[in-house]
Amino acid sequence: MTDIFWPDHLFLVGCGNMAGQMLARWLDCGLDPARVTVLRPSGKPVADGVRVVTGYPVALPADTTVLLGMKPYQIADVAASLAPLCGEDTDIVSILAGTPLAGLRAYFPAPRALIRAMPNLPVGIGQGVTALYTDAAVPVQAREAATSLISPLGLVEWIADEARFNEITALSGCGPAFLFRFIDALARAGEALGLPADQAARMALATVEGAASMAARASDSPGALADRVASPGGMTRQGLNVLDADDRLLKLLTDTLSAARDRGEEMAREG
């Protein structure tokens, strides 16, 4: 891992499932907990050394990076209290689904850098995917700082067109849930064939984990790897014939991602 340039101060608004995973990974990678403040109405502790507050401070330290990690519908209430604390030297990273950059700028006019981020859950183990987007008004240094902060979480992808954000969210942001469902279905299919349920579950999980690791290391595409495994006339080929018939697997996943994308667009209109 390359050197990480931590922000002077990190202020998290909310620390739920996703933001909590991000913070846990940063702390594991060496972020000093004394640099972190978490706004959490419940006051519930987050991690050793991390300050948790139930209300907004009087001021934010200079060169603070704010992570917006609450529910998207809370943005107006949060901005009413937070925006007056944010100066030009404040960087804001938002993981709020369905909240476009223009909307963030309307709520937070002063900060020099506003960046949208869409992480997925494996960021907590450093194997996540995070898409980032900002506009030309943001200085290069702020982009580099965001890349450095997000890199310990896994793959970082800058997106050129914000209009693609919901599509990316459907693929990588929602993708882990779809894969969890696939693993569960693979195990249950093994059980339906007669394997003990606990054994089928262990084998399905290990099979997916090993195949994903192999695909990540291979020079061939996953599609090519599938064809390499499938001997002509063999068991694997017969199973692939079912998945490939009429592009049924491709159509199922396209419909799945389309439904997730469409919901993201609805959320943006509702907001």
Q: Are residues 112 and 224 in the same domain?
A: no
Q: Tell me if 81 sits within 8 A of 67, measured CB to CB.
A: no
Q: What is the pLDDT of residues 106-115, one digit of tens each?
A: 999 999 899 9
CA distance 256 to 133: 24
What's the pLDDT at 2?
60
Q: With 90 as the cut, is the pLDDT of residue 70 above it? A: yes
| Percent of the chain surpassing pLDDT 70 | 99
Position 269 confidence tier, pLDDT thresholds 50, 70, 90 = confident
What letters, b where the CB count within 10 A reaches 16 and e where it falls short, cover 174-207? bbeeeeeeeeeebbeebbeeeeeeeebbeebeee
* pLDDT at residue number 271: 63
Shared domain for 258 and 135, answered yes or no, is: no
If you average pLDDT over residues 157-163, what whole number do you get?
93
Chain mean pLDDT for the chain: 94
Does 105 have pLDDT greater than 70? yes
What gap in Å lies between CA 65 and CA 110, rounded to an integer?
13
User: Residues 22, 148: one domain?
Assistant: yes
> Of 112, 130, 161, which residue sits at a domain end?
161
33 belongs to a structural domain? yes
The pTM score is 0.88
- Note whether residue 1 is domain-resident: no
Domain count of the fold of the chain: 2
How far is it, in rounded angstroms, from Cα 189 to Cα 197?
A: 10
| Domain identity same for 14 and 114 | yes
| Same domain, yes or no: 183 and 64 | no
Asked which of 137, 161, 185 is the last residue of a domain, the reply is: 161
- CATH code of 201's domain: 1.10.3730.10
pLDDT band at 3 (very low <50, low <70, confident <90, very high): confident
Lookup result for tokens 């079912």: 242
Residue with tokens 């050197």, as numbered in its chain: 3
In a domain, 257, yes or no: yes
Average pLDDT over residues 89-103: 92
Higher local confidence (pLDDT), 144 or 264: 144
CA distance 236 to 244: 12
Q: Give CA 144 to chain center in angstroms.
A: 19
Q: CA-to-CA distance for 136 and 89, rounded, in angstroms?
A: 17
Q: 70 and 123 share a domain?
A: yes
Residues 89 and 188 in one domain: no
- Strands of 119-264 (E only): list them: 128-133, 154-158
For the stretch 195-242, pLDDT in tens is 999 999 999 999 999 999 999 999 999 999 999 999 999 999 999 999
Q: Answer yes or no: do 262 and 194 share one domain.
A: yes
- Tokens representing 120 are 């997925």
Task: State whether 147 and 235 are in the same domain.
Answer: no
pLDDT of residue 226: 95
Q: pLDDT per residue over 85-95, tens digit each?
A: 999 999 999 99
Residues 192 and 122 in one domain: no
Q: Is the pLDDT of residue 270 over 90?
A: no
Tell me how far the alpha carbon of residue 233 is from its chain's centroid: 41
Q: Rounded to whole angstroms, how far apart are CA atoms 271 and 94?
A: 15
| Per-residue model confidence as pLDDT tens digits over 164-194 | 989 999 999 999 999 999 999 999 999 999 9
Q: What is the pLDDT of residues 35-62, one digit of tens each?
A: 999 999 999 999 999 999 999 999 999 8
For residue 84, give the 3-state DSSP assignment: helix
Residue 147 shares a structural domain with residue 189: no
Split at pLDDT 50, 70, 90, the class of 267 is confident
Query: How confident is the model over 133-142, as a mean pLDDT?
Result: 91
- Distance separating the N- and C-terminal Cα atoms of the chain: 38
Beta strands in the chain (DSSP E): 9-13, 36-39, 51-53, 64-68, 91-94, 113-118, 128-133, 154-158
Give me the domain span that covers residue 210: 175-268
Q: How far is CA 112 from CA 11, 93, 136, in A?
A: 16, 12, 11
- CA-nearest of 139, 229, 123, 129 to 169 is 129
